[in-house]
Every structure is written in C-alpha cells, then in structure tokens.
C-alpha cells in the first residue's frame, strides 16, 4: 500500500514501474496511480472533498469564525481497478470486488 506523500505523487511513474517489475500488487491513495498503470486505488473522493470545502469558504465569507466550524470526515470513497495490470501480475480479481468498484479499467 502506497501512502499519501508529495514525493510519491511526483514519482508515481517510477513507483508503478517498480511494482510492476517486481510483480508486487499495490493499492494506491490517488487515482492517478491507476491511470499510470497501477493496480488499484481506494480512497476518499477528492472531488467530493473539494466540493465540501466550498461550503466552508461560503460560511467564512458570510462571517462564521473558522474555529467554530465542525471538522468533517470524508463520506464518499472510490475504488478503481486496473484489469490490464491485474492480468500482467497474474491476478484474478474476484467478481464480488469488481462489482463494488466505481470503475474497472480494461
């Protein structure tokens, strides 16, 4: 599992290539890794988090004190699976997991 780090985002191509070369199945924190050829992404929806942050900006601009606003946790999560990478690694993804995925890349 590759965790969140700015360096990892910057070096995502190298990380995905290393995982493939060494035949290591990996799950990533950012969907861009799967777009680059990584196996799987599971994590909070950044689009939803950005949308939710707009409500905070709106409240602050209307006079609310930031310290008085509640802390919110992500509520929407995404699962993306790259079947081409799974096949290259010799993995069979269970149908139950494929059914739960928000997107399956062929």
Concatenated DSSP letters of 23-49: T---EESSHHHHHTT-SEEEEE-HHHH
Class of domain 6-44+76-105: alpha beta
pLDDT of the residue at 28: 94
In the chain, DSSP assigns E strands to 27-28, 40-44, 77-82, 103-105
- Over residues 8-45, the pLDDT tens digits come to 989 999 999 999 999 999 999 988 999 999 999 999 98
Q: What is the pTM of this model?
A: 0.80
Which pLDDT does position 34 carry in this prediction? 94
């Amino acid at each position: 599992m590759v965790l969140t780090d700015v360096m990892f985002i910057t070096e995502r191509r190298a990380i995905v290539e290393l995982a493939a070369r060494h035949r290591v199945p990996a799950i990533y924190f950012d969907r861009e890794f799967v777009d680059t050829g990584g196996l799987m992404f599971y994590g909070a929806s950044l689009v939803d988090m950005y949308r939710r942050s707009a409500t905070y900006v709106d409240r602050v601009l209307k006079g609310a004190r930031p310290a008085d606003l509640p802390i919110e946790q992500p509520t929407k999560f995404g699962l993306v699976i790259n079947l081409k990478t799974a096949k290259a690694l010799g993995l069979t993804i269970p149908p139950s997991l494929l059914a739960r995925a928000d997107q399956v890349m062929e």
